[in-house]
Structure 1
């Protein structure tokens, strides 16, 4: 029987979750368990986690009663949530169960960019969860990571765009493109989290992890250097972006979250370590100060791979 502390990672088969699970297993300091819906047990992503050493547990949080959920999380030292953003509300009953079961540390599903209330609906939902966590009295750590390298380089090849409209939208440059924003490589997210959840300094704290702070002008330089030297950009103003947000709200378009992020990052400049440290944004601890020995992947390194 393992004597290592147990970490339950909900959403462990997703992109963020898989990065976290891999890093936890690599440190060999934890027994890592990943609840997975029974219908997803045989998916390649689940099988890959099992091969790496994670214990896969068939479990559906959405259909579980409070008593069943409390029994399920009993014995866990730490719970990390990396669930899909459409299921954030499931965390409320998970927090109650974790508190009743004596879980020592709860990490809700954040892993995004810092910011004020009233700018992004999704971020407001995450802030609501944080308030509930604090009110519950359970030990916690809130973790933001800026924006992923993997999601924000400018597309110079339409075939690489996740969806067609991103091919052009990725090259919208706001107000000259000189505002800084923080980025982290997906693999480094897991490495940061694995350090954070064993650090007593981060208990009951908000933590900001980041790799680099760059501007849209920097993104353009990488696109020109490694993608297409004649890449076309589309200059936009704050008013242009506000119009896109208003249209998305009126027509209930799925692009709203994307434009909200752009407004927060490129207009308000909220996604920086300096902003995250402000008391009104949470008073974050800086992982680059907590772990000065940690090496992060440079964005340019990823850009070379991306454009190749």
Structure 2
């Protein structure tokens, strides 16, 4: 889950843990070139692996810093048919757009504090007439695809035994928010690519917003499942509505746009656990397409199965 836009404050316009495809091309044709920025991260590698399952549909390119092109992960992807291109995303727009010549769609999976690099990527993609997928809804380009993701991996608290800890604990939603009875959607990050590969190639999603997810449950239900599968009792730390909204109010008293993880996570918790806006029903109300309805054949990992797997591997 890339939180770079979600953590911008105080003019935070958070709409959830959202990914958007700003696509100003007519459609991704068979054999089209898809470039992924941040390809070696959890999200990027999930997407690359999904795209590589259908080489007849996609030619896959990984965008990398020049200093990282020899990373073992990229060498492995290259052996599997991925073209690796070196580019400095904090460089000139002209240089970036030059690397994107003949690319059809760019998918941004950049890290937390890469806001300016993402802005450069958007501008360069627009200059090169290339669609770009990224988190948030800050930029208006003609055709948009958007889908909602909140990782299983960022939802579970640490177990007392130490068998499991959240992937990025400080940016996780591991507390009970409010009374813990507000439902929201969850997705295994390894399933993300399966949705992305279908959405970017689907004519029906052009100029549409798409809501994709694995499970819908409350925080209390998630903790109940964790305790049942692990056999351990988990301390349920609570963040109240007043605490969440207090952090947001303090963050909005400043001026300008700064990266503020604390405020960004409060915005996320407010949307998920207080306002309850991360649900298929609310997405339908806003006009989103439902990826589960569009692609009923796409398999996803159930929350309980995911916990069972990590219990076996830890």
Note closer, same or farther for the CA distance 1:95–1:245 as it changes in structure 2 (3 Å cut): closer
Query: Structure 1's 266 and 245: CA in aligned 2 closer, same or farther, altered over 3 A?
Result: same
CA distance in 2, matches of 1:167, 1:233: 17
Moved more, 249-258 or 77-86: 249-258
The Cα offsets for residues 11-30 of structure 1, whole Å up to 9 and x where unpaired, read as 22221111111101111121
- TM-score by length of structure 2 reads 0.78
1:32 Cα offset (Å): 0.3
Which residue is 2:17 aligned to?
A: none
Q: 2:301 aligns with which of 294, 297, 303?
A: 297
Separation of aligned partners in 1, 2:173 and 2:190: 25
* Separation of aligned partners in 2, 1:96 and 1:164: 30
1:50 alignment counterpart:
78
Q: SS at 2:195's partner residue?
A: helix
Aligned residue for 2:97, secondary structure, equals helix
The structure in which a higher percent of residues are helix is 1
How far apart are the structure 1 equivalents of 2:33 and 2:249?
45
Task: Give the counterpart of 1:257 among 259, 264, 267.
Answer: 264
Q: CA shift at 1:301, angstroms?
A: 0.5
How far, CA to CA, are the matches of 2:54 and 2:168 in structure 1?
39
SS in 2 for 1:255: helix
Structure 1 length-normalised TM: 0.80
Following superposition, the deviation at residue 180 of structure 1 comes to: 0.6
Distance of 2:113 and 2:161 partners within structure 1 = 28
What is the distance in 1 between the residues matched to 2:79 and 2:156? 32
State the distance in 2 between where 1:162 and 1:154 align.
Answer: 6
Q: Contact 2:110–2:118 (CA<8 Å) still a contact in 1?
A: no
- Give, in whole Å, the separation in 2 of the partners of 1:164 and 1:48: 25
Q: 1:256 Cα shift?
A: 3.1
Contact map agreement 2:153 2:166 (CA 8 A) in 1: no
Q: How far did 1:198 drift?
A: 0.8
1:50-97 CA distance string (max 9 Å, x none) = 23321111111211x232222211111222122223223333443343
Q: Which residue of 2 aligns with 1:89?
A: 116
Q: 1:274 aligns with which of 259, 281, 287?
A: 281
1:27 match: secondary structure = coil
2:109 aligned with 1:109: no
Give the number of equivalent residue pairs.
Answer: 277
**2:58 and 2:243 mapped to 1: Cα distance?**
48
Q: Deviations over 1:159-209 (max 9, x none)?
A: 443589769972x32333111110111121101000111100111221111
Structure 2 portions without partners, runs of 5+: 1-29
The offset of 1:307, in angstroms, is 3.5
Where in structure 1 are there 5+ consecutive unaligned residues? 111-125, 135-139
Give distance in 2, aligned partners of 1:307 and 1:211. Answer: 20
Cα distance between partner residues in 2 of 1:261 and 1:85: 14
Report 1 or 2 for greater relative contact order, CA contacts < 8 Å, sequence distance ≥ 6. 2
Aligned to 2:47: 20
Q: How far did 1:248 drift?
A: 7.3
Secondary structure of 1:205 counterpart: coil
Distance change >3 Å, CA 97–CA 164, structure 1 → 2 = closer
Q: Which residue of 1 aligns with 2:61?
A: 33
Q: Which residue of 1 aligns with 2:23?
A: none
Secondary structure of the residue aligned to 1:26 is: coil
Q: CA 1:158–1:86 in structure 2 vs 1: closer, same or farther (change >3 Å)?
A: farther
Aligned to 1:115: none
Secondary structure at the aligned position of 1:79 is classed as: strand
Q: Is the 8 A contact 1:153 1:303 kept in 2?
A: no
Q: In the TM superposition, what is the alpha-carbon distance from 1:6 to its structure 2 partner?
A: 0.9
